[in-house]
Structure 1
Amino acid sequence: MKGPAFKRWLALGAYAALLAGCETMPSGLSSALSGLGGGGSSGSGVASGVQNVMQGASAAFKDYSPQEERELGSGFASVLLGARPLLRDDELQRYVNRVGLWVAEQTDPRKDGQGRPVHYDWRFGVIDSDAVNAYATPGGYVFVTKGLLRTLNSEAELAGVLGHEITHVLHGHYLSAVRKGGFAQMAGGIVEARSGNSQLSGAMVNMVRNLYARGLDQSDEYDADRYGTLWAARAGYAPAGLMQSLRAVAGGSAQDANYQLLLATHPPAQERIARLEPLMGGKFSGTGGATNAQRYLAMRRVLR
């Protein structure tokens, strides 16, 4: 993504950073932030799963420096936006950036091989597509579609979705998919092309398209659900936001073209909800939080 459109997006991100401001953490949340594990057999299972995820993330990042990860993500983003551009609505783009940047501020930082925190230059955008979906790329690009925004009903739901996508970046899920798919050499070509300001070849573009059409491992999606819920709760949103967003899309039909890719690349919404419910009754039990439904619905009115 080059030229005026890219500069415009950078300006939106910078403006959103100024808007993020300070929020207060809802009472009762501190106990939920001690981790996603906990007492009892189910807690130990979650803790073990978290350890496996972090080991997998470490392996995924092993082949890429933070700069290379950003270059790869830039290539991925250019393919996604080449298929469907950003929606031309500055106010809506600023709004989604504001929510996304604030949620991203609540995450646990990833560290590089020398133990130094890795800083992401997060960019959030709304794609002008009626499809119901959200995407992330390595390096910190996160997109939601116009169709998804129409489906959601509160800012807390949006925050949960963005937290889910942020987790895909932080835990290296797409980098892992590149390796498992045997695309490491092709990904290296994308990094080289982007660092040299060159165009991606047709084969590289097809690789990225195939990666998103194939989707991530189900375990990565469940991991992103758990942590996305946590990041949104830390940001002061109602923890059930992501689960409610899943209920909002659960009625989508595989016969509806706007839902086909989402349903084909993610576990069933009801299964994802079932896995989040114990957290709502456990770690997040009694935790309050904002939904900001009226503000969200007012913003959503601009969508056609």
Structure 2
Amino acid sequence: MKKRALYPFLAAVALSGALLSGCETMPNVGQMGNLASALGGGGGGGGGGSGMANGIQDVIGGASAAFKDYSPQEQHALGQEFSSVLLGARPLLRNDMAQRYVNQIGWWVALQAEPPKDKDGRAIQFAWRFGIIDSDAVNAYATPGGYVFVTVGLLRQLKNEAELAGVLAHEVAHVVRGHYLAALKKGGWAQIAGGIIQTQTSNGAMTAAMVNAVRNLYAKGLDQSDEFDADRQALLYAARAGYRADGLPSVLKMYAASGSGSDVNFQMLFSTHPNPAERASKLEPLLTSKFASAANVTNEARYLAVRRKL
């Protein structure tokens, strides 16, 4: 798909997904009980409460600093250009029904995350866009500014909507926690990021160095602490949305049982993330304590009806 055709298409499916949420049956958030502080609650989706692992304050501090470096408009510009690089390898799936469905679930989950603050203390509202990439690889991606993608290969492996919600919640967490912005700063790519923003705002073309920098960012992956942080937040967002909290842990167990670093469809996932069995193990105590009373909604039949058409 050509770059200039990408954004109107994603905007259209996102709008359709948002409108559909009013006429489709979504999980009942009234079943949730008091999970607002399940992970130690507070601004940005969680503080340093008892449910958090050691080092989480460092993750939050790094994200807060990164948000101060980029305005919401600059994050949106980065997101558009990062998306164009991701979709340069494989295009969006040409299936409007499936795209609308993923947008619907994604928007609902994203509504459960507290927005971060900009440098002036104002809440950042993301223009969320969700899309399915036409690739057999098993993976999901996010960009600054609120673009989130899942692959067809991953969707074919999932068993229900709660698992999809868990995956999308993990990617939403990367955005609202500023993980990619922090990675740009830690990787010494601030100058490249500035060039990408300037290119997008001036309607220019990215240089080879810019494209390679974005590719390298995704090939290297985020810090392990960021991935574990996104896993924990995913439980919270999915549970707040009314889904079974164990959706993401179920997916992680599937990764551990079905994939490996030598499987071409799992290679990038395994090379850029911590061991999936370890990730699932770290979440188990939360499932049996903080989230033990969460809802039991999976919407399996609805998910499988969509999966059959992929």
For the superposition of Structure 1 and Structure 2, which TM-score range results when normalised by the shorter chain? over 0.9
Equivalence map 1:13-28=2 (5 Å) = 13-21=14-22, 24-27=28-31
> Is 1:119–2:122 an aligned residue pair?
no
Counterpart AA for 2:90? R
Larger mean CA deviation between 209-218 and 6-15 belongs to: 6-15
* Deviations, residues 178-201 of structure 1 (Å, cap 9, x unaligned): 111111101110000001111101
Q: Which residue of 2 aligns with 1:205?
A: 211
| Residues 71, 231 of structure 1: alpha-carbon distance in 2 compared, 3 angstrom cutoff | same
**Residue 274 of structure 1 pairs with residue 281 of structure 2:** yes
Give the Cα–Cα distance (whole angstroms) in 1 for the partners of residues 83 and 225 of structure 2. Answer: 24
**Letter of the 1:252 counterpart:** G
Q: TM-score w.r.t. structure 2 length?
A: 0.92
Partner of 2:57: 51
Shift of 1:33: 2.3
Q: What is the CA deviation profile of residues 35-57 of structure 1, one whole-angstrom value per residue up to 9, with x for unaligned ones? A: 3139xxx9637176443322111
CA–CA separation in structure 2 for the residues paired with 1:185 and 1:43: 36
Following the alignment from structure 1 to structure 2, what is the Cα–Cα distance between the partners of residues 182 and 59? 15
Partner secondary structure for residue 144 of structure 1: strand
Deviations 1:238-267, CA, capped at 9 Å, x for gaps: 000111111122120222111000000000
Number of equivalences: 299
Write the letter of the residue equivalent to 1:299. V
The structure 1 residue matched to 2:300, chosen from 288, 293, 297, is 293
Cα separation, 1, equivalents of 2:169 and 2:75: 19
- Give the secondary structure class of the aligned counterpart of 1:55: helix
User: How far off its partner does 1:8 sit?
Assistant: 2.4
Structure 1 residue 30 corresponds to structure 2 residue 36: no
CA RMSD of aligned residues (A): 1.7
Map 1:1-304 to 2 at 5 A.
Answer: 2-21=3-22, 24-27=28-31, 29-37=32-40, 44=50, 46=52, 49-250=55-256, 251-303=258-310
* Post-superposition offset of 1:236: 0.6
What secondary structure, in the 3-state scheme, does the structure 2 residue paired with 1:32 have?
Answer: coil
- CA positional deviation for 1:26: 4.6
Report if the CA contact (8 A) 1:31-1:283 is conserved.
no
DSSP 3-state at the match of 1:138: coil
Contact persistence 1:151–1:249 (CA under 8 A): no
TM-score, normalised to structure 1, is 0.94
What secondary structure does 2:149 align onto? Answer: strand
**Cα displacement string for residues 155-214 of structure 1 (whole angstroms, at most 9, x for unaligned residues):** 000000000000100111011111111111011100000011111011100110010000
What letter is aligned with 2:20?
Answer: L
Q: Deviation string for 1:131-171 (max 9, x for gaps)?
A: 00000000000000010001111100000000000010011
Letter in 1 for 2:174: H
Check whether the contact 1:26–1:288 (CA below 8 A) recurs between aligned residues: no
The offset of 1:6, in angstroms, is: 3.0
Q: Give the secondary-structure state (helix, strand or coil) at the position aligned to 1:30.
A: coil
Which segments of structure 1 move beyond 6 Å, counting only runs of 4 or more? none
1:47-99: per-residue Cα shift (whole Å, max 9, x none)? 76443322111111121111011101111001001111000000000000000
2-side partners of 1:176 and 1:96: how far apart? 27
Unaligned runs of 5+ in 1: none
The one-letter amino acid of 1:94's match is R
Percent of pairs with identical residues: 58
AA in 1 matched with 2:205: Q
- Contact 2:161–2:302, Cα closer than 8 Å, also in 1: yes
Letter in structure 1 aligned against 2:250:
Q
Other structure's SS at 1:31 match: coil
